[in-house]
């Protein structure tokens, strides 16, 4: 089965796992997913993740979801830039997420990073997703 939006699939698996109260979810591995997971881990939205190899030669990530007093740390996770509609933003027009309580994850020429890091480095890029 081919997947048109692998990053959107990962975000949906995380959202579904949080709604069901799962402690972890697994997603197929890719380099873009790993970079997004690095940002989620450094910002404190997930406990961590690990890469495991399957018997068919492919690998997958096991994502440890994070909860605080029984409720998920991630309240909303949504895809912004989709394969049918790419959304780019300059550094001056980067939107604030939940009055700066959430983050946007951007793909920039300097790598995948959170919106506050992009503002510090004065670079814009493609807005991948929003989390709060």
Q: Is residue 116 part of a domain?
A: yes
pLDDT, tens only, 51-78? 999 888 899 999 999 999 999 999 999 9
How far apart CA 121 and CA 111 sit, in angstroms, is 11
Total number of domains in the chain = 1
Domain assignment present for 101? yes
CATH number at residue 65: 3.30.1490.10
- For residue 85, give its domain range: 6-131
Within a domain: residue 1? no
Residue 1: its pLDDT value, please?
43
Any domain includes 95: yes
pLDDT at 55: 85
For the chain, what is the largest distance between any 2 Cα atoms, rounded to a whole number of angstroms? 47
| Residue 98 belongs to a domain | yes
**61 in a domain, yes or no?**
yes
Any domain includes 37:
yes
How far is residue 67's CA from residue 56's CA, in Å, rounded to a whole number? 32
Residue 31: CB partners within 8 Å, gap ≥ 6? none
Encoding tokens for residue 90?
A: 């300059």
What is the pLDDT at residue 60?
Answer: 96
Rounded-to-integer distance, Cα 89 and Cα 78, Å: 17
């Amino acid at each position: 089965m081919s997947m048109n939006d692998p990053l959107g699939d990962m975000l949906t698996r995380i959202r579904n796992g949080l709604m069901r109260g799962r402690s972890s979810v697994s997603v197929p591995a890719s380099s873009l997913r790993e970079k997004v997971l690095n940002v989620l881990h450094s910002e404190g939205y997930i406990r961590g993740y690990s890469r495991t190899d399957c018997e068919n030669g492919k690998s997958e990530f096991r994502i440890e979801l994070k909860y605080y007093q029984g409720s998920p740390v991630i309240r909303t996770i949504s895809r912004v830039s989709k394969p049918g509609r790419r959304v780019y933003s300059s550094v001056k027009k980067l939107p604030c997420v939940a009055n700066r309580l959430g983050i946007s994850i951007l793909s920039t020429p300097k790598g995948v990073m959170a919106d506050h890091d992009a503002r510090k480095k004065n670079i814009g890029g493609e807005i991948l997703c929003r989390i709060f």
